[in-house]
Chains A and B, each alone.
Chain A
Amino acid sequence: MKSRLSGAEAQPQAGGLVVIKQLKLETFNLDGKPEIIVTAPECVYDTFNHVANSPGHLQLQTGDGKFHVEGDGFLWRQNDSFLTISNHVHTVIENTMK
């Protein structure tokens, strides 16, 4: 499994769309460890094109918790693991000394 999309509530819509509340999106590396975890209060998921989007807030963090991103309005392309945050992007990188 490469990614998992889950939520507290899902409302199917016409055209293969699903409105998901309390979205949680996780991607995993080949070892099965989580790469990123994305959370959002709500989004619309297109089951045909495997794309999720929302005008609302989004938070993301890497599996090790060292890289956090948040912003408003997003588009997630599941096929190539590409995320666009449209507004007010704020990244925090915890500095790790090697």
Chain B
Amino acid sequence: MKDRLARNFCLIGLLALASGRTLLAQTDTNAVVEKATNAAAVVFLPAATNANVVLPPKPRPPTQIKADRGDFDWELRQATYHGRVQVDDPEMKLASEWLMADVPQAGERVNHIVAETNVVIDFVDGKGQTNHATGAKAVYVYEVKGGTTNETITLSGNPQIDNPDGTLTGDVIVWDRVNNHLSATNPRMVFRQKLNGPTAGTNMPPATNPPAADTTFPPGKLDLIPEPHAAPRNF
């Protein structure tokens, strides 16, 4: 079960590889680098120059938070939102009834968010599939320790994630945003049957040829088997 879960929800590990398009050019000094992610892109120039050019990351669209009411404690640097909270982030959308976020210091980014009550998160995974997550509480943590970046969203309170592959539930579901990996404690997975073919919705067999059944015939062409010749007909 764990293997199946891992196979189906380890999805997202290919995200960085799939979405990042780095062009390596060893001869063209006018090489263009295009990279979809925010990570720094590197182009390798000819050996004569022996230099790496690092392009600055693309600017990321802002995160927006809307709510009925907000409390801002500037001594604790905490913002608390109440009522119909909506977060619109480039990588996900979140709705809840209450949300608390640490206000980042200058030059830093938001590193701690807690959302509670009727939490709904919609995001697109590395396969380009839309995921719909719900729970009573979600905690976002971003930290860099020893050069390693950790970025997680922990869902609790009857958490559930729906995507085209199926539905994942558990006691706690953790979305590792760095590795695009979902994990859950006491996971339960319901797989959704894919019915995309022309026979979907019918009881017809699939259009593809069925696999050959095991036989005792020796390998070879079927025309090796002699066919009875029809006797000439005389009229």
Enumerate chain A interface residues (CB-CB to B < 8 A): 27, 33, 35-36, 60, 62-64, 66-67, 69, 71, 80-98
Among the 9-residue stretches B42-50, B101-109, B168-176, B181-189, the one with 4 or more Cβ atoms under 8 Å from chain A is B101-109
Which residue of chain A has the shortest Cβ distance to B109 in the bound complex?
A96
Contact residues of B with A, CB < 8 Å?
Answer: 38, 57, 59-75, 79, 81, 90, 103-104, 106-110, 144
Decide: B64 and A62 in contact? CB cutoff 8 A. no
Residues of chain B lying within 8 A (CB to CB) of residue A93? 62-65, 104, 110
A96 x B104 contact (CB < 8 A): yes
B65 contacts A91, C-beta separation under 8 Å: yes
Q: Which residue of B lies closest to A3 (CB)?
A: B74
Tell me whether A96 and B68 are in contact (CB under 8 A). no
- Nearest residue (CB) in B for A75 is B71
B104 interface neighbour in A35, A66, A86, A97, Cβ under 8 Å: A66
Do A86 and B63 have beta carbons less than 8 Å apart? no
A71: B residues at CB distance < 8 A: 70
**13 A-B residue contacts at CB 8 Å?**
A66-B104, A80-B75, A81-B75, A82-B72, A82-B73, A84-B72, A86-B69, A89-B66, A89-B67, A89-B70, A91-B66, A97-B109, A98-B144
Q: CA–CA, A60 to B71, complex, Å?
A: 13
Q: Of the candidates B66, B72, B109, which one forms a contact with A90 in the assembled complex, judged by CB atoms under 8 Å apart?
A: B66
Query: Are the CB atoms of B69 and A83 closer together than 8 Å?
Result: no
Would you call A82 and B74 a contact (CB within 8 A)? yes
**Shortest Cβ distance from residue B111 to the other chain A in the assembled complex, whole angstroms:** 10
Residues of A within 8 A of B68 (CB): 87-89
Specify which chain B residues have a CB less than 8 angstroms from the CB of A97 in the assembled complex: 38, 57, 60, 109
B81 contacts across to A, CB distance below 8 A: 89, 91
CA distance A64 to B65 in the complex (A): 19
Could you say which residues of chain B place their CB within 8 Å of the CB of A91?
A: 64-66, 70, 79, 81
A29: min CB distance to chain B, Å: 9
Q: Are A62's CB and B103's CB within 8 A?
A: yes
Report how far A85 CA is from B66 CA in the complex, Å.
12
Is B106 within 8 A of A64, CB to CB?
yes
* Most B CB within 10 A of own CB, among A33, A80, A81, A97: A97
B112 CB to closest chain A CB, in angstroms? 13
A94 contacts across to B, CB distance below 8 A: 62
B73: chain A residues within 8 A (beta carbon): 80-82
A88–B103 alpha-carbon span in the complex (Å):
19
Known: A35-B74, A95-B60. A64 touches B69 (CB 8 A): no
